Homo-oligomer: A and B are copies of this chain.
């Protein structure tokens, strides 16, 4: 069964046999064709239920493209399957049986060793007015003094800059042999002026500058084996605990940046809100986000399978996380806990009935850190790259001739 003649890729005979049988099963009346809208059923029967949303969408797209009056022949079906099989490892019933232990399960360990040797990179940005506890929260998340303010010498006098500044500090932290280069980017001055017009612009510029640097390294002729990743993988946006709703600046910032970066909104200093206030505030924020079409992380449309959707739905239910940060430890029922002590009680940072710090930490670090990195790479960076390349093309086609500006720049290196 020759499938792609130009690539000279064949599939095993048993694969073609199973495909033909499955087609015949669906074609109960023996007409020699099946309806294109039913083709996903056949595919699912053959490949199993573990097809991702993207794979399903591709199959449907190809089926629609090939169908004549909504009908597909067995040869059409085989063409669709060949394209699908060439891009996935979800082969379901088409898998080839092995007669004994081969050892491909060791690939997990081989990969683990490789990534452990290189270590990980994670870049997180904090945005919000001063005084909302951004530095404290980030220090609480990583149980270390990793915020810019804790690391610079001029810790005592904190001056608010006249415009939004963007500054980063890098650390390496290690746990059980896993090394992470963590870069925390702060945005002092954001939202702190009398007139905050365009105060989001330096933030957007910084994010795009990192994409630009990456793109330029990726396109250079002699590029690095591993391109250092300075792209912002997550932007924690701090909402003032006013108890009202989102401010116009909150909405403006998130609307401007949600296509460029993973935004995770948090309600800062949530210990200032009563239980009822928090519930109502959250509800109004959710409404504001929805009304303004703001896309926060994790995004539903990127989910690949139902399992992921179930996990992420729980997270979306909690958003925006109402958090409390603290570097201080206090004794509490025989244990020491991070918290904020007042005359009337102790707010425990990691107590899930007190606030949602633990939920935020679990998502950012323990369950979704790698996903934040991959979404940045495969969605936000790709969007940037696509726009940049398309606009270069547009600009250069202006003279009726296509010249890639890239290669012109590179040649002057």
Q: Report A's interface with B, CB cutoff 8 A.
A: 7-14, 54, 85-91, 94-108, 110-112, 114-121, 141-146, 148, 151-153, 166-181, 183, 206, 213, 221-226, 228, 230, 304-305, 361-362, 365-371, 374, 378, 382, 385-386, 389-390, 392-393, 396-397, 401-404, 406-408, 410-411
Contact = CB atoms under 8 A, between A and B. Distances in A.
A86 to B, nearest CB: 6
B112 A111 contact: yes
A145 B12 CA distance: 9
A99 B139 CA distance: 10
Nearest to A220: B389
- Residue among A94, A95, A141 having the largest count of chain B Cβ atoms under 10 Å: A95
A276 B136 CA distance: 72
Q: For A94, A145, A206, A392, which residue has the most chain B Cβ atoms within 10 angstroms?
A: A145
B378 A225 contact: yes
Pairs of residues from A and B, 3 with the lowest C-beta to C-beta distance, nearest first: A89-B119, A404-B404, A91-B172
B170 A86 contact: yes
A95 B170 CA distance: 10
A152 to B, nearest CB: 7
A108 B104 contact: no
Contacts of A117: 304-305
Contacts of A175: 98, 101-105
A45 to B, nearest CB: 17
Nearest to A404: B404
A148 B9 CA distance: 10
B397 A151 contact: no
Contact of A168 (B7, B167, B228): B7
Given A91-B179, A167-B8, A178-B107, A102 B408 contact: no
A167 to B, nearest CB: 5
Contact of A406 (B146, B225, B404): B404
Contacts of A393: 221, 407, 410-411
Nearest to A392: B407
A114 B112 CA distance: 12
26 contacts: A7-B213, A8-B166, A9-B169, A11-B170, A12-B151, A87-B228, A88-B119, A89-B119, A91-B181, A96-B145, A102-B143, A102-B175, A103-B362, A104-B120, A105-B175, A106-B367, A107-B178, A110-B371, A111-B112, A221-B385, A221-B389, A221-B390, A225-B382, A402-B408, A403-B403, A403-B404
A107 B10 contact: no
B110 A111 contact: no
A402 B403 CA distance: 8
A396 B406 CA distance: 14
Contacts of A382: 223, 225
Given A102-B142, A106-B366, A114-B374, 20 more contacts: A7-B230, A10-B167, A10-B169, A86-B228, A89-B172, A90-B179, A91-B179, A91-B181, A95-B174, A96-B172, A97-B173, A102-B365, A105-B176, A110-B368, A117-B304, A223-B382, A393-B411, A402-B403, A403-B404, A404-B404
